[in-house]
Chain A
């Protein structure tokens, strides 16, 4: 079984902690002038997203987590699972609700997503930073209002609801920042 010694610890390293795959966020060496050295690390649980602190005796080995990021194309949702495909090998993979989480608000068929795999199975799905989605419902657009001063909610094709300027109408394509869930602009072209 692969493992890492504390002297290999660095941000981004993937470890198994209490049976869950985790990623190191911060690593600090605690070494008194006299006495035992420790590594105090902040780790993000990749299943829950929670960040916790852990201490290891320096020199100790910790089991590595078989975690890797792959770029896959989102195909479709069958009602229970979200299906992805590798663009070159055409290998398909299905992710469940736990892995997809809030990403389902931004998943559009054909878009490339980052799928984090743990032991070969989808653990988390990260949508592209920006997606283009069509407005399926919103109050009628106000002609001539280009100031963008006010705002109104708009429902997008994925079901996500975002605040948009008053001039946006049904059927328009919008650019959304998935990290903040905010409207950026009308899609060009």
Chain B
């Protein structure tokens, strides 16, 4: 096969079209408004583990004065500005861009479905995510019953430790037992250890059929109530005496499909989290990111709401049982 041709089969190019149509009808039926927000933005996320593409705006006939812009890594900030302006529930399907993310399950440019439910919390939104995913996946996969597990339950069930109370020594022992010793330095943050164990041991088993245990079929699996230190843009609350993030992720067949929050609407708290992200960036030797003041002002006016982003390519991979993301993208990064 030559490089100018599509790497996805026409069957999968058609599956993408059908999937996008089904998603749109689902939201039209539920009275969720489709919106369109900018790809180029003057600010971006300070998350130390997400890097944005950067570009310059050059006014015509002038090369001296240029303005710096970022390609969005998700439409989250402008969508929340719409919600804060009174849009009500909204959805968007857009191309997003992330530096360095290239592999079997990653393409630096990918398609994200993101939606927000005005007045809902993360638990209500999880029910809707389950409905939409079941609608999309059931014609292709014989699905088992959906499972909901707290982050703590997942660690207890698969590794026998409590992620909230475990100390560094417990985590070091756990990485040793699971063949992941020496991946991280001892002095690294506790969250890095939790991420290592989660991504290598827990995630591959989530939503996967297993003959002896919960399901002999692949199933939709929600993990919720992450440690408060991994809250990102989610509210935090007390749960069984533990401060947790009102955040969830959804998995099927060992693959992460989406991430959702009961959205933080405390502007001061949001600013502090961004500043902390920038401090972490500094320690890691990364460039600090300018604060998105438009967004930070809007956060204070954000209604109670929950939002989620789902990767369309990952969804198509599960639907078609594809092993590589290039199978579901017409022209992936190496042919773009």
Question: Which residues of A are interface residues toward B (Cβ below 8 A)?
Answer: 7, 27-38, 40, 53, 55-58
Contact = CB atoms under 8 A, between A and B. Distances in A.
A36 B195 contact: yes
B195 A35 contact: yes
Given A34-B232, A37-B49, A56-B183, A29 B199 contact: no
B114 interface: no
Interface stretch (B15-23, B53-61, B98-106, B268-276): B98-106
Interface in B168-208: 179-180, 183-184, 191-192, 195-196, 198-200, 203
Contact of A34 (B103, B184, B259): B259
Contact of A55 (B101, B102, B196): B196
The 8 tightest CB contacts between A and B, nearest first, are: A29-B103, A35-B195, A33-B259, A55-B183, A36-B195, A30-B199, A36-B192, A32-B199
B230 interface: yes
Contacts of B196: 36, 38, 55
B256 interface: yes
11 contacts: A27-B103, A29-B101, A31-B49, A32-B198, A33-B258, A34-B232, A35-B230, A37-B49, A37-B100, A37-B101, A40-B200
Nearest to B102: A29
B164 to A, nearest CB: 16
B177 to A, nearest CB: 14
Nearest to B100: A7
Contacts of A32: 195, 198-199, 203, 256
A29 B256 contact: no
A29 B199 CA distance: 11
Contacts of A40: 200
